């Protein structure tokens, strides 16, 4: 039987060697710690940065203890310590099995000692340089635990989260997940339920999740104690607000990050970068950022040096000035791995700031993070580089070879054993979190005028604090890979890490049977030689000629238009828009149209980003989290919500061409999409309304994908801009979709820098009153130095009798528009 005592604001329950501690960091969050040691550890957390205490009430019955705040109630079984969590209305949110649900198995933890005279084996993989220590001594370090946390889920609930993986799972009920960092796995230890609660496991080791024949549980490889948080909210905003109360609010990205980002593997010199940026400007196709992939460092200097090759980039400051003169930003790839005796590697080695392979810097060391940043600053940032692409942030990847993909458990062992060789096994999942922190802290110490933007291949809970956007790794150019992106991106964003993207078109376009991961579907006109040829300077200078790939690329770009970052990237074939035809040709025109639509969406997207950062409202949402009472949404994993208004249904199968440019005959150019209950929906392209709770066969010609707008919504669209800061005073178009009350808050600030943290921003609230058929633009709140004081606003209201249009000059005072055509 567990006995209760209260100690310094914590509830402590003891039964023999078992010790259970509960406290309430917020009114709607309970922290649970369980150990079989005599005391709890007071370890610092890399994930949770706020550990407040609120008071709680305690009641005791014959069989349980009841702990409660104003928003959450926890029942603790006296017999087993099993928890039952309820919301303030008495609804059961989550239960642990009656036998207890919390299990620890004691284990010994060893660490490896590496001598100064050790031999280091180096090599070149498809994914970059690698180094491995060939000799070391394993010594006992401490005792710890394996942990198992069991749940009893309710039959009709849906679960999302745990990050972005490969399988293409949506709702995680009936699924399992292996949680370790790998090229195409970005782990976040957070689960979110359609019943209005979330679970954060404060653990940095290898984990697995099961909701299958083996049971419903979370297993952790190495912990000092079992430490987790259960939080709840009656709305998604309230729910994610609890997560951010623990882990900190997301940092705003620069506004230009929402524009189109052009990348490929790879641009090889300054001339090519400037020519591509200039061609976009000449063609009047919006572009905000161009990306310089790996090997920008000096030829022959070794891998990963954070400075420009003086031959290919003779004047890096002049190059960035020329890009900035075109209003194009530059993102540069940097790596945590340095080999070949480059200057950066030697400096970190001499400072004792490398991991045991003497090639991967120790991101767990504050001093090493500072040194790494200083290298990036003097070699890149001081020359005008605007953003970072922190590649290979796992940072060890051991299975990226061979023709046959290893079995899942084999891959787990290969990759985690490689990481444990150099990193404490309790922390192998959090390298990316600390690496991102180093970049963020470093740049903020250098300037407050430029926001941090860091594209990273791995992630972890809390990484949103550091200006990070995660992409899902080097996936293949196939229709199936595109389909899998949709649910995986939703699971990633469901964790509360809000900014996610993908390589539009897939990274590997061609197929190489010698490598299990290089399995694109399109060889026609691609590189077509050996994988190592992709590392040559001219490897991807031509476009793929296969119209099957052209169609896939258009559909992928249409999907990417509605992601937090719209970015094209890949190897085998160049991705610039003119590789897909010329003006007046269908593929070129479709790509132009979707990039221009992205430009028009920026005011709306920026407001959604601000809502994430200010209030916790998520940008990308699985349908089941927004419509938990609609059972069909739990099975829909190929569509999503952008904000609470736009339902996006990407096209994930070919309609015009198969491989080798073979025309597809008799294909219908429609896409079946589900419109959830409790709302009516408007076709975004035509304005035609549809009832909710039905499946529709939506038109999906090459130039569009199905997009629907929820009734009771307001969209703010701007003009087509060649870059996001162009035409700051131009009119906005406000689209109003009646059927229910609506409110939308337009957020504006300088677009860059951190003055917004000091309150330098403005809010304009648009409110639609359905009963009065009236739109009100409320008085502007706040201001900032470069604010547009007066702007022309054109309102388009989709009334029953047709489209009502009215234009006003908004100067910050209240405006009312009444729609009488009912």
List active site positions.
Answer: 391, 394, 474
* Signed CA dihedral, 669, 526, 479, 641: sign only: negative
Q: Rg of the chain over CA atoms, in angstroms? A: 27
Q: Where are the alpha helices (DSSP H) in 262-351?
A: 270-283, 316-325, 343-350
Q: Give the separation between CA 772 and CA 57, rounded to whole angstroms.
A: 45
E strand or H helix that includes residue 671:
strand 670-675
Residues 566 and 256: beta-carbon distance below 8 Å: no
CB atoms within 10 A of CB 652: 20
Q: Give the separation between CA 118 and CA 378, rounded to whole angstroms.
A: 31
What is the longest distance spanned by two Cα atoms in the chain? Answer: 84
Alpha carbon distance, N-terminus to C-terminus of the chain: 67
Helix orientation angle between 479-494 and 547-560, rounded to the nearest 10 degrees: 10
- Of 107, 167, 346, 236, the C-alpha closest to 624 is 236
Q: Give the separation between CA 754 and CA 749, rounded to whole angstroms.
A: 10
- Of 618, 600, 808, the C-alpha closest to 716 is 600
Q: Give the separation between CA 381 and CA 373, rounded to whole angstroms.
A: 10
Structure-token pair, residue 727 = 């035409």
* Signed CA dihedral, 258, 264, 267, 271: sign only: negative
- Of 256, 283, 21, the C-alpha closest to 752 is 256
Residue 343, classed as helix, strand or coil, is: helix
Q: Give the separation between CA 103 and CA 145, rounded to whole angstroms.
A: 9
Residues 672 and 697: beta-carbon distance below 8 Å: yes
Q: Give the separation between CA 33 and CA 11, rounded to whole angstroms.
A: 10
Q: Give the separation between CA 355 and CA 348, rounded to whole angstroms.
A: 10
């Amino acid at each position: 039987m567990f006995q209760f005592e209260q100690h310094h604001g914590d509830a402590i329950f003891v039964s023999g060697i078992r010790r259970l501690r509960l406290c309430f960091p917020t009114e709607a969050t309970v922290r649970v710690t369980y150990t079989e040691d005599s005391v709890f550890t007071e370890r610092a957390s890399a994930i949770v940065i706020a550990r407040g205490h609120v008071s709680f009430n305690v009641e005791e019955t014959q069989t349980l203890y009841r702990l409660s705040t104003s928003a959450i109630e926890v029942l603790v079984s006296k017999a087993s310590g099993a928890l039952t969590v309820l919301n303030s209305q008495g609804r059961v949110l989550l239960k642990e099995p009656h036998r207890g649900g919390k299990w620890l198995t004691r284990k010994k933890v060893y660490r490896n000692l590496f001598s100064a005279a050790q031999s280091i084996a180096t090599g070149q993989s498809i994914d970059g340089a690698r180094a491995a220590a060939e000799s070391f001594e394993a010594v006992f370090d401490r005792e710890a635990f394996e942990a198992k946390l069991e749940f009893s889920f309710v039959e009709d609930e849906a679960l999302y989260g745990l990050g972005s993986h490969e399988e293409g799972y949506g709702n995680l009920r009936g699924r399992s997940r292996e949680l370790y960092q790998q090229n195409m796995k970005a782990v976040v230890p957070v689960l979110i339920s359609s019943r209005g609660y979330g679970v954060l496991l404060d653990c940095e080791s290898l984990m697995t999740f099961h909701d299958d024949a083996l049971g419903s549980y979370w297993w952790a490889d190495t912990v000092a104690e079992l430490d987790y948080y259960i939080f709840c909210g009656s709305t998604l905003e309230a729910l994610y607000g609890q997560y951010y109360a623990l882990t900190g609010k997301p940092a705003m990205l620069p506004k230009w990050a929402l524009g189109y980002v052009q990348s490929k593997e790879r641009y090889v010199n300054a001339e090519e970068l400037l020519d591509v940026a200039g061609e976009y400007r000449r063609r009047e196709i919006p572009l905000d950022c161009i990306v310089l992939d790996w090997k920008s460092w000096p030829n022959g200097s070794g891998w990963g040096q954070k400075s420009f090759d003086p031959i290919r980039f003779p004047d890096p400051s002049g190059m960035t000035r020329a890009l900035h003169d075109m209003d194009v930003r530059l993102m540069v790839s940097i790596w945590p791995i340095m080999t070949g005796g480059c200057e950066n590697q030697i400096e970190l080695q001499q400072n004792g700031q490398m991991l045991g392979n003497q090639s991967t810097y120790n991101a767990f060391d504050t001093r090493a993070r500072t040194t790494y940043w200083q290298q990036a600053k003097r070699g890149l940032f001081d020359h005008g580089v605007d953003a970072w692409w922190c590649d290979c942030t796992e940072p060890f990847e051991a299975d990226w070879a061979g023709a046959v993909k290893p079995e899942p458990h084999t891959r787990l062992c290969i990759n985690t054993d490689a990481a444990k060789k150099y990193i404490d096994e309790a922390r192998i999942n959090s390298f990316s979190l600390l690496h991102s922190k180093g970049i963020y802290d470093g740049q903020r110490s250098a300037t407050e005028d430029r926001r941090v933007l860091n594209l990273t291949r791995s992630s972890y809970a809390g990484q949103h604090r550091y200006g990070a956007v995660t992409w899902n790794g080097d996936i293949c150019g196939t229709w199936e890979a595109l389909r899998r992106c949709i649910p995986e991106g939703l699971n990633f964003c469901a964790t509360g890490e809000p900014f996610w993207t993908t390589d539009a078109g897939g990274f590997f376009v061609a197929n190489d049977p010698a490598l299990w991961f290089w399995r694109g579907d399109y060889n026609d006109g691609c590189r077509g030689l050996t994988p190592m040829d992709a590392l040559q300077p001219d490897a991807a200078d031509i476009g793929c000629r296969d119209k099957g790939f052209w169609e896939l690329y258009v559909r992928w770009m249409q999907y990417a238009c509605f992601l937090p970052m719209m970015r094209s990237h890949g190897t085998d074939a160049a991705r610039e828009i003119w590789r897909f035809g010329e003006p007046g040709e269908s593929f070129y025109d479709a790509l132009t149209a979707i990039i221009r639509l992205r430009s028009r969406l920026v005011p709306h997207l920026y407001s959604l980003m601000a809502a994430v950062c200010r209030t916790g409202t998520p940008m990308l949402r699985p349908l089941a989290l927004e419509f938990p009472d609609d059972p069909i949404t739990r099975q829909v994993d190929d569509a999503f919500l952008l904000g609470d208004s736009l339902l996006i249904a990407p096209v994930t199968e070919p309609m015009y061409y198969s491989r080798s440019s073979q025309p597809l005959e008799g294909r219908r150019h429609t896409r079946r999409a589900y419109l959830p209950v409790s709302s009516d929906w408007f076709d975004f392209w035509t304005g035609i309304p549809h009832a909710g709770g039905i499946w529709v066969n939506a038109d999906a010609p090459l130039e569009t994908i199905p997009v629907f707008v929820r009734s009771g919504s307001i969209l703010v669209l701007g003009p087509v801009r060649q870059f996001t800061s162009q035409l700051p005073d131009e009119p906005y178009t406000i689209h109003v979709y009646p059927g229910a009350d609506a409110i939308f808050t337009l957020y504006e600030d300088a677009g860059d820098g951190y003055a917004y943290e000091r309150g330098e921003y403005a809010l304009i609230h648009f409110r639609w009153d359905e009963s009065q058929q009236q739109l009100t633009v409320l008085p502007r709140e706040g201001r900032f130095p470069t604010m547009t004081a007066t702007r022309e606003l054109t309102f388009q209201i989709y009334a029953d009798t047709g489209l009502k249009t009215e234009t006003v000059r908004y100067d910050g005072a209240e405006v009312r528009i009444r729609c009488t055509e009912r």
